[in-house]
């Protein structure tokens, strides 16, 4: 199998290679292609990846290229992890909403809209290249804001694309460890949108244990008030904290992007010396658990048995209260690459209303970006729970446009 990684010069890529090497007796990957724009970073990352492969005893060739089409054309699986605008862009997304008294986050609220505005045009270009040069490849989208990126791709292309986020799986693992079970023994009815999901029911070896989880929610997550979980009757992922308790996150703490910039500088410095263990220790300071999950997903593509994955896919009728064309994040069964999303019914009314509203927000945001329409973006912001007012929506949009223009992303051109 050949795997290409777009955004492969990201310094955390070696963690992905390490996960591939661990499972490679089953995966049988013989070639990994790293694609990135900076020759220097690509070379440093490639060198470390090669050392890790050698250490694992696996036979995987690591190839690096600045030519994206070369990487796309020659792959069975294409993983995309680009960050358009880099960490500077992320810092902007995380910081400017604070000026409006809103949570600043790279995927949530105004920060997520700003990120989507930079990212979607580039992702559409990549999707176009995949359609042209390698339509049958599996396309795994890690790039955020994953849900909106998938919506844009799905509007224009018919690719074998899925978006994968680690948060649902993290929640399921926590539930499993609370139940002292293996996560494979659990079936969770996970549903919602990316970074906006709940679990409706949990079954342990076929027995409904939802009530037990709801009553003990504080043992699973300590930030979201357990009373909310009881009131709603569904188990939220941790990202819901930004909606349930925004006041807690209106801090003057340095943005996450600033922490990552400092860590990146340290890692790049260490990479010059080349001590593998020291570099890996630094890389592991960022807990990039998603790499393990996507490698398990790639392994499952070939498996003869059904396995459970939470994926961002086209809704169809999985959630009957949302349009068919929406992108939803739901539990799916998969065997040999065939994906069967598990329909979820009996969703609590308040949860349904929240998802319905955010779905419309995401849909309008993507439409506004695709059509370069400020009116549609204002319409979107007016239904986001953080924004709501027309005047606020206008000011937020102006800030987003100005900020991105300063970073040389001129959305309206």
For ligand G6P, the binding residues (CB under 6 A) are: 144, 165-167, 256, 286, 290
DSSP bridge pairs for 312: 163, 329
User: How is 160-185 classified by DSSP, letter by letter?
Assistant: EEEE--SHHHHHHHHHHHHTTS-GGG
Of 199, 202, 230, which is closest to residue 215 (Cα–Cα)?
230
Among Mn ion, ligand G6P, none, partner that 71 touches (CB below 5 to 8 angstroms by kind):
none
Size of the site for Mn ion (CB under 5 A): 1
* Rounded Cα–Cα distance for residues 193 and 399 (Å): 26
Would you count residue 149 as binding Mn ion (CB under 5 A)? no
Mapped onto helix, strand or coil, the DSSP state of residue 29 is: coil
Which residue, 287 or 317, has its beta carbon nearer to ligand G6P?
Answer: 287
Which residue, 110 or 163, has its beta carbon nearer to ligand G6P?
Answer: 163
Instruction: Kindly state the smallest distance separating residue 117's Cβ from ligand G6P, in Å.
Output: 17
* Rounded Cα–Cα distance for residues 336 and 306 (Å): 8
Instruction: Kindly state the smallest distance separating residue 222's Cβ from ligand G6P, in Å.
Output: 17
Which residue, 162 or 392, has its beta carbon nearer to ligand G6P?
Answer: 162
Longest Cα–Cα distance in the chain: 60
Instruction: Kindly state the smallest distance separating residue 195's Cβ from Mn ion, in Å.
Output: 6
Instruction: Kindly state the smallest distance separating residue 327's Cβ from ligand G6P, in Å.
Output: 15
* Rounded Cα–Cα distance for residues 294 and 19 (Å): 9
Spatial neighbors of 36 by CB under 8 A, at least 6 apart, are: 7, 8, 9, 10, 42, 45, 64, 66
Q: Choose, by CB under 5 A, the member of 62, 165, 202, 257 that binds Mn ion.
A: 165
Which residue, 93 or 189, has its beta carbon nearer to ligand G6P?
Answer: 93
Which residue, 60 or 162, has its beta carbon nearer to ligand G6P?
Answer: 162
* Rounded Cα–Cα distance for residues 233 and 242 (Å): 19
Which residue, 239 or 308, has its beta carbon nearer to Mn ion?
Answer: 239
Contacting range for Mn ion; rule: CB under 5 A; set: 159-167, 174-182, 258-266, 304-312: 159-167
Kindly state the tokens that stand for 340.
Answer: 């069967």
Which residue, 126 or 165, has its beta carbon nearer to Mn ion?
Answer: 165
Q: Are 98 and 255 in contact (CB under 8 A)?
A: no
Instruction: Kindly state the smallest distance separating residue 329's Cβ from Mn ion, in Å.
Output: 9
* Rounded Cα–Cα distance for residues 192 and 352 (Å): 9
DSSP H or E run through 61: strand 61-65
* Rounded Cα–Cα distance for residues 9 and 5 (Å): 9
Among ligand G6P, Mn ion, none, partner that 81 touches (CB below 5 to 8 angstroms by kind):
none
Instruction: Kindly state the smallest distance separating residue 320's Cβ from ligand G6P, in Å.
Output: 26
The DSSP letter of residue 60 is: -
Instruction: Kindly state the smallest distance separating residue 97's Cβ from ligand G6P, in Å.
Output: 16
Instruction: Kindly state the smallest distance separating residue 193's Cβ from ligand G6P, in Å.
Output: 13
Among Mn ion, ligand G6P, none, partner that 286 touches (CB below 5 to 8 angstroms by kind):
ligand G6P
- HSE-CB at 77 with a 13 A cutoff on CA atoms is 24
Instruction: Kindly state the smallest distance separating residue 163's Cβ from Mn ion, in Å.
Output: 9
Among Mn ion, ligand G6P, none, partner that 5 touches (CB below 5 to 8 angstroms by kind):
none
How many angstroms from the chain centroid is the CA of residue 334? 19
Contacting range for Mn ion; rule: CB under 5 A; set: 36-44, 164-172, 302-310, 378-386: 164-172
**Residues 237-276: x/- map of binding to Mn ion (CB under 5 A)?**
----------------------------------------
Would you count residue 148 as binding Mn ion (CB under 5 A)? no
DSSP bridge pairs for 80: 6, 141
Please say whether the dihedral angle defined by the alpha carbons of residues 135, 298, 161 and 338, taken in this order, is positive or negative. Answer: positive
Spatial neighbors of 251 by CB under 8 A, at least 6 apart, are: none
Q: Are 166 and 142 in contact (CB under 8 A)?
A: no
Which residue, 66 or 259, has its beta carbon nearer to ligand G6P?
Answer: 259
Which residue, 173 or 216, has its beta carbon nearer to Mn ion?
Answer: 173
List interacting residues with Mn ion (CB under 5 A): 165
């Amino acid at each position: 199998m050949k795997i290409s990684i777009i955004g492969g010069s990201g310094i955390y890529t070696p963690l992905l290679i390490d996960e591939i090497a661990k499972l490679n007796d089953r995966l049988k990957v013989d070639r990994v292609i790293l694609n990135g724009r900076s020759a220097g970073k690509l070379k440093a990352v490639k060198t470390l990846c090669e050392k890790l492969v050698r250490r694992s005893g696996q036979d995987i060739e690591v190839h690096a290229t600045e030519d994206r089409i070369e990487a796309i054309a020659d792959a069975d699986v294409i993983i995309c992890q680009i960050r358009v605008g880099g960490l500077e862009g992320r810092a902007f997304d995380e910081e400017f909403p604070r000026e409006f008294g809103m949570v600043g986050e790279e995927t949530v609220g105004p920060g997520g809209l700003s990120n989507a505005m930079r990212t979607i045009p580039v992702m559409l270009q990549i999707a176009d290249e995949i359609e042209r040069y390698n339509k049958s490849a599996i396309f795994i989208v890690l790039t955020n804001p994953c849900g909106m990126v998938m919506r844009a791709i799905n509007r224009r292309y018919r690719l074998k694309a899925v978006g994968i986020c680690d948060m649902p799986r993290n929640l399921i693992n926590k539930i499993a460890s609370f139940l002292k079970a293996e996560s494979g023994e659990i079936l969770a009815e996970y549903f919602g949108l990316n970074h906006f999901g709940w679990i409706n029911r949990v079954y342990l070896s076929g027995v409904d244990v939802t009530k037990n989880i709801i009553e003990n929610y504080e043992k699973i997550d300590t930030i979201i008030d357990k009373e909310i979980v009881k009131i709603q009757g569904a188990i939220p992922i941790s990202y819901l904290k930004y909606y349930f308790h925004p006041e807690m996150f209106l801090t003057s703490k340095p943005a996450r992007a600033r922490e990552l910039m400092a860590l990146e500088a340290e890692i790049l410095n260490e990479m010059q010396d080349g001590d593998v263990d020291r570099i890996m220790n630094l890389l592991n300071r960022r807990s990039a658990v998603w790499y393990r999950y996507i490698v398990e997903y790639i392994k499952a593509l070939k498996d003869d048995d059904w396995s459970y994955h939470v994926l961002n896919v086209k809704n169809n009728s999985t959630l009957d209260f949302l349009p068919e064309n929406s992108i939803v994040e739901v539990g799916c069964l998969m065997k040999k690459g065939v994906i069967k999303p598990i329909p979820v019914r009996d969703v609590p009314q308040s949860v349904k209303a929240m998802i319905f509203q955010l779905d419309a927000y995401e849909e309008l945001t993507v439409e506004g970006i695709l059509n370069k329409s400020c009116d549609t973006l204002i319409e979107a912001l007016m239904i986001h729970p953080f924004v709501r007012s027309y005047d606020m929506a206008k000011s937020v949009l102006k800030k987003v446009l100005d900020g991105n223009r300063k970073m040389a992303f001129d959305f309206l051109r």
